[in-house]
Each structure stands twice: as C-alpha cells, then as structure tokens.
Amino acid sequence: MNKKIRVGVDLGGTIAERGKGEKGGEFFIKKDVKESFDILKDYADLLLISKAGEKVANKSKEWLEINKLTSYFREIYFEKTKDEKINRILSLNLDFFIDDKIDILIELRKGNKNINLILLNENPKIKNYKGVYIKFENWKGVLNYICQYKVV
C-alpha cells in the first residue's frame, strides 16, 4: 500500500504572484497552480508554510479562501520569522518543499539532506544549484518532477 507523499509549499511568489502595472497591489494565482494541485491532492498531502506577521497572515488566509485554495491543504502555517519558517519546515518530515527564495532552500539543505528542494522562479538566469535544489520556471515542471517520485 502506498502512503501519501508530503509536499510543503510557500505562498508568495510560489502560489501567488503580484500583478504588474495598474494591478501591482493585487495578488493572483500563478499559472497552472490549481491544475497541479488537482493532480497532487490524490497522492500528496499538501502543506502551506509561509512567513507572515499576523496582519498579512490574516489577509493571506482570506485570499486563499476567496481563491478556493484552502481545501487543497492538509495544514496551513504562517510563521513570523524566516528562522521559524525554516524550523517548521524541518519539523514536518516533508518529501518536497517548494519556494521561490534561494536563501530559504539553502538553509533547509543545511538542516535536512533528504528533502527534495524545488526552486520555483521564472528568472532564466538562475540555474539549478547541484546538491541543494532543482529549479523550475513554472508549475508544469514542478508537477512533472514530483509525479516521478514513487513512495513505497
């Protein structure tokens, strides 16, 4: 019998992106997020782990509800500091963690050599960092990578 894999996901820059131009203050769901979550939910426990103070965390929870994303997550955590976020991720025994920030992934690698770290970042100048993370520019790449992972 297969158990579900555990996939941690950051919010800002990973699931949500800030609009451009006149919509610069608004946040939107990144392309292919819902489609990816629809596939992943059947064999993965999705956990949202993000850094935010209380005010931003409350607005983020509201945004997740409005955009019908809350139900995808088994657990949702908002940590006040970067160190608290890293410690939370390390405590959750994740198979994968997806973030848009390189420094978070480097710190996670120092604390856990086994977690599969994924950088989701559209910047084509940023490359894979061997031994630390694998980089994708979109959710389709992330989904294909995770779907190759077999849990026995």
Average predicted confidence (pLDDT) for the chain: 92
Q: Is the pLDDT of residue 121 over 60?
A: yes
Q: Is the pLDDT of residue 2 over 80?
A: no
Q: How far apart are alpha carbons 43 and 100 in whole angstroms? A: 23
Q: Which of 63, 71, 65, 90 is nearest to 8 (CA)?
A: 90
Residue 31: pLDDT band (50, 70, 90) is very high
Q: Is the pLDDT of residue 151 over 60?
A: no
Q: Is the pLDDT of residue 23 over 90?
A: no
Q: Reduce the DSSP state of residue 150 to 3 states and report it.
A: coil
Q: Is the pLDDT of residue 137 over 70?
A: yes
The most distant pair of C-alpha atoms in the chain lies apart, rounded to whole Å, by 51
pLDDT, tens digit, 9 for 90 and up, residues 3-16: 789 999 999 999 99
pLDDT, tens digit, 9 for 90 and up, residues 106-115: 999 999 899 9
Q: Which of 95, 83, 79, 68 is nearest to 10 (CA)?
A: 79
Domain 5-147 architecture: 3-Layer(aba) Sandwich (3.40)
> Above pLDDT 90, what percent of the chain?
78
Q: How far apart are alpha carbons 103 and 133 in whole angstroms? A: 11
pTM of the predicted model as reported, rounded to 2 decimal places: 0.93
pLDDT, tens digit, 9 for 90 and up, residues 62-115: 999 999 999 999 999 999 999 999 999 999 999 999 999 999 999 999 998 999
Query: Which one is predicted more confidently, 116 or 20?
Result: 116
Q: How far apart are alpha carbons 4 and 23 in whole angstroms? A: 38
Residue 1: pLDDT band (50, 70, 90) is very low
